[in-house]
Amino acid sequence: MPRGGTSTPRLYLRVVALGCLWCLLGIALGTNLFVRLRAITESAGDLSAHTSAQADLALNERAGTAATAAAKVEDLATVLVGQSHRINREALATGVVAFGLGITLTVIVARMVRRQELAQANDRERQEFHSRVSDAFGMTHADDGAYALVTEIIDRLAPGLPAEMLLADSSRAHLTPVAATHAARDGACGVVGDGGDRSASLCPVRSPSHCPAVRRGHAMTFSSSEDFDSCPNLRGRPGGACSGTCVPISIMGQHVGVLHAVTPDRHPLAPAEIERLSILAAKAGERLGVLRAFAQSEHQSARDPLTGLLNRRSLEVEVQRLQRSGCSFSIAYADIDHFKRLNDTHGHETGDKALRLLSRVLREALRPSDVTARWGGEEFVILLPDLDLDTARVTLDRLRSAVVESTGAGHVPHFSVSFGVSYCAPEDDFFERLAEADSALLAAKSAGRNRVIAAKPAMATLTTAQAA
């Protein structure tokens, strides 16, 4: 129930009381006129009777003159009586009309008040829904949470309604279903696929440019998929003819998705339901825009802009996370060999390309659980969780070979990388172990570069490759 709805009965009582007062006023006016005219009629009758008596007394003296006067007076009294009867009827009619006007006015005002109350109730309900949806989306912290909330809200608003949300990918060339109601996942109303297959879609549209609602930027409703002016994507559904409603989703000012719902043929959603879907689509788009902007800002603040790897501050956060979880890890300190010579010979742009190439090789060759960061300049630090020194040395030597094999092609000249590696237990001081890895790196440089040297248990060299 909308808030404030309890005031409606009181308002109606006031309207009815006003109408009753108007009716009573009409009745009183008619009655007053009736009484006054009734008195006029009685006076006219008395005047006629009195005149007749006077005429009889003076009959002998002034027979002719009195009779004539009496006749005139009697005619006048008759006229007055007739007029009084006519006025009585008009007074009665006036009272009836006034009463009828009072009733009519009451009905009209009541209807106007009712419409106004309904409009106010709808406004309150819409504002309350808008506020609740906004609050709910404000508590989501990731895209998946927003998708799940869209599904929950639609399932609560319209249980059994097949609906889904489709969003464009990063290229904005393809639409992908990201949320679907239970009815859509169960295969109702012509869903392609069943059993909760998220790759299946209620709507076959696969590109934002192929969706009329996305192109036009406003909600569209189609009464029947069989109509000649219906959306082509509604036709040929496995469940047969249907009605469809499509509401575009805007993220950061760009229409990049659609909220799509289907209903039985010739039974489209009511305007109030479409309005709620529009509010839901707008709030979902707003929240997704905020989440993506925040994620982009967080990504930029956490990563090195040139290589896309974590920066020093972010690596320290990962170290704290690993140590809190009780995880031990190996620390690799990497440095591009003769990087100053490469910069001086080929230019800083080539040096940047070398840094980006090394970063790409690191991302491709290491595990998803490994943590790689640009520590500064041409230096990189790698965390290898749950790897002892021997295994870490094998992994890093394979990585060293991959770097050498990737250079020399294109616009990046040959270069190599040296590694120093140490082992860090959860209770160890990270920066002490990092200093040990740095010392091992210096040993690798001194030993000829392009090699992996461990800080413990011995300064062993895994490969005898010479520096480039």
The pLDDT tens digits for 146-205 are 999 999 999 999 999 999 999 999 888 899 999 999 998 876 544 433 333 434 578 999
Look over the chain and give the mean of its residue pLDDT values, rounded to a whole number.
83
Same domain assignment for residues 330 and 436: yes
Same domain assignment for residues 171 and 266: yes
Return phi, psi of residue 7, to 5°.
Answer: -80, -10
Share of the chain above pLDDT 70, in %: 74
Share of the chain above pLDDT 90, in %: 57
Residue 289 pLDDT? 94
| Residue showing tokens 């062993």 | 460
Decide if 462 is inside a domain. Answer: no
* H helix or E strand, kind and range, residue 383: strand 379-385
Decide if 31 is inside a domain. Answer: yes
Estimate the crossing angle of helix 348-365 against helix 389-406, to 10 degrees.
Answer: 130
Nearest partner of 107 among 8, 18, 10, 5, judged by Cα = 18
- Banded model confidence at residue 141, pLDDT cuts 50, 70, 90: very high
Distance CA 153, CA 136 (A): 10
Last residue of a domain, one of 136, 151, 178: 136
pLDDT digits (tens, 9 = 90+) for 195-235: 334 345 789 998 999 999 999 999 999 999 999 999 999 99
Distance CA 463, CA 468 (A): 14
Range of the domain at 61: 5-136
pLDDT digits (tens, 9 = 90+) for 80-107: 667 667 766 766 677 677 777 778 877 8
Residue 88 pLDDT? 67
Same domain assignment for residues 278 and 344: no
Q: Are 105 and 22 in contact (CB under 8 A)?
A: yes
Is residue 239 over pLDDT 70?
A: yes
Residue 190 pLDDT? 44
Same domain assignment for residues 266 and 337: no
Same domain assignment for residues 168 and 57: no
Same domain assignment for residues 333 and 433: yes
| Residue showing tokens 């802009």 | 305
Copy the structure tokens of residue 408. 């020399």
CATH code of the domain in which 251 resides:
3.30.450.40
The tally of domains found in the chain comes to 3
Select the more confidently predicted residue: 62 or 408. Answer: 408
Decide if 467 is inside a domain. Answer: no
3-state SS assignment for residue 348: helix
Decide if 147 is inside a domain. Answer: no
Same domain assignment for residues 332 and 445: yes
Decide if 463 is inside a domain. Answer: no
Lowest mean pLDDT among 33-42, 341-350, 454-463: 454-463
Same domain assignment for residues 71 and 110: yes
Last residue of a domain, one of 298, 327, 345: 298
Residue 285 pLDDT? 96
- Banded model confidence at residue 299, pLDDT cuts 50, 70, 90: confident
Residue 3 pLDDT? 41
pTM above 0.75, yes or no: no
Same domain assignment for residues 276 and 324: no
**For residue 155, with 0-12 CB atoms within 10 Å meaning exposed, 13-18 middle and 19 or more buried, which class applies?**
middle
Copy the structure tokens of residue 23. 């009716």
CATH code of the domain in which 363 resides:
3.30.70.270
Same domain assignment for residues 225 and 253: yes
Return phi, psi of residue 382, to 5°.
Answer: -125, 130
Decide if 200 is inside a domain. Answer: yes
pLDDT digits (tens, 9 = 90+) for 334-392: 999 999 999 999 899 999 999 999 999 999 999 999 999 999 899 999 999 999 999 99
- Banded model confidence at residue 28, pLDDT cuts 50, 70, 90: low
Residue 35 pLDDT? 63
Residue 176 pLDDT? 92
Same domain assignment for residues 55 and 102: yes
Decide if 460 is inside a domain. Answer: no
Same domain assignment for residues 67 and 191: no
- Banded model confidence at residue 282, pLDDT cuts 50, 70, 90: very high
Select the more confidently predicted residue: 241 or 109. Answer: 241
